[in-house]
Amino acid sequence: MGHTIVMTGASRGIGRVAAEQILRQSPDVHLLVVARGSSGAQLAAELATDGHTVSYVAADLGSLQSVRSAATEIRDRLERGDLPPLRGFVGNAGIQYTNALTEGPDGFESTFTVNVLANHLFVRMLRDRFAAPARILITTSDTHFGDFKHNMGMVPGPAWKSPDVLAHTAAFPRPDTAAAGRTAYSTSKLAAIYLVHEYTRRLPAGIDAVAYNSGFVPGTGLARNAGPVSRFAMRHILPLMTLTPFATSRNAAGRYLADVVLGTTKAPTGSYVDRGRAARSSQESYDPQRERELWDAAERFTSAYVGRADGLSGDVRSGSSRQTEQ
Ligand SMILES: NC(=O)c1ccc[n+]([C@@H]2O[C@H](COP(=O)([O-])OP(=O)(O)OC[C@H]3O[C@@H](n4cnc5c(N)ncnc54)[C@H](OP(=O)(O)O)[C@@H]3O)[C@@H](O)[C@H]2O)c1
């Protein structure tokens, strides 16, 4: 019997290669891509060649209301039996801004919204719909290490603060600068690892959560908000680095991602997968207190978007259904 994998960030870059690989390697997958605006229909049509089954749901991940609508539609389709059992969620979409001042319609800073809260809201709204064995994969980044070895000086390291500060604009000094925007990015990727650790404590047995790092992948759209010099370098000069061990090609990064999604790369729940193997993430990324605080804050920030009838709040594994909706 087939199964469903829900995937964000499949429209281009690393995710586009991964989506094609997932379909090629696992022909029984129903791949449900979450994409912005009207792009989902075209994306699904392009991916649905060779008899592959692909459908789409529209969502702008910078809007929690939009994520809620998408997750509700997915829940409804699963409930109606329009989709085979849900065995995967791939939160691959990501964004990097050149400031820390971009605010989404919900009042949260946009990097934090797309890279952290959107994934959390999907996990929260779908967690009682997963059919074990299932896997949640969140794409993170080795910029979360914050040292030269992992970011070659291109992205400042994370600067952890209270989640209430991180979730809002101007969380970092000189918030109008690219340095602040990139600090928001690396910090959001550290947050993603914290939540993966917390998911392993909170989700029912049989629903794994892993973090994936592609390494530096030049030539994707990630630097699209950067200035013309950085964009030119990312598109035309830095791709030469894929000839060295310091960078990963888009094709290799997509293949690595697909291998983690499909379980070809062995990675126990809670793992950080660095390209093709489970590895240790930064020392800073193992911090149960921050993990719990971030979980609590993410639950609070997203609670207004979860339907009351869903009864989704609380620790599913313990069976409690703590209602935190306001
Ligand atoms: N490139 C690197 O060096 C690198 C290194 C480590 C980790 N990563 C991570 O890898 C993932 C993929 O990045 P990439 O390098 O492949 O960049 P990319 O080419 O810019 O792809 C980003 C993907 O995220 C989607 N996305 C962004 N904001 C969205 C929103 N508001 N609503 C819906 N979808 C949205 C994009 O959709 P649209 O087509 O609609 O924009 C696109 O599919 C990201 O999580 C990134 O942080 C990248």
Q: Supply the pTM of this predicted model.
A: 0.93
- Residue 182 CA to ligand 1 center (angstroms) comes to 14
The per-residue pLDDT for 233 is 73
Which atom, in ligand 1's list, is nearest to the CA of 115? 45
Whether 230 contacts 224, CB under 8 Å: no
Residue 220 is classified by DSSP as S
3-state secondary structure of 104: coil
| Ligand 1 pocket, mutate which of 11, 111, 212 (most atoms under 8 A from CB) | 11
Whether 116 contacts 184, CB under 8 Å: no
Q: For residues 153 and 165, give the distance between their C-alpha atoms in angstroms, rounded to a whole number.
A: 25
Please name the residue whose Cα sits nearest to atom 17 of ligand 1: 222
Tokens of 167: 């979730």
- Residue 323 CA to ligand 1 center (angstroms) comes to 33
- Residue 209 CA to ligand 1 center (angstroms) comes to 20
The per-residue pLDDT for 203 is 95
Q: How many CB atoms lie within 10 A of CB 286?
A: 15
Q: 194 CB contacts (<8 Å, ≥6 apart)?
A: 285, 287, 290, 291, 294
Low-confidence ranges of the chain (pLDDT < 50): 309, 311-326
> What Rg do the C-alpha atoms of the chain give, in angstroms?
18
The per-residue pLDDT for 323 is 29
| Ligand 1 pocket, mutate which of 8, 14, 196 (most atoms under 8 A from CB) | 14
- Residue 320 CA to ligand 1 center (angstroms) comes to 35
Which atom, in ligand 1's list, is nearest to the CA of 10? 43
The per-residue pLDDT for 308 is 53
Q: How many CB atoms lie within 10 A of CB 277?
A: 12
The per-residue pLDDT for 322 is 29
Which atom, in ligand 1's list, is nearest to the CA of 220? 19
Pocket lined around ligand 1, Cβ cut-off 6 Å: 8-9, 11-15, 36, 39, 60-62, 92-95, 114, 139, 141, 214, 216-217, 220-222
Say which residue the tokens 């690396």 belong to. 186
CA dihedral 295, 299, 301, 302 (to 10 degrees): 130
The per-residue pLDDT for 321 is 29
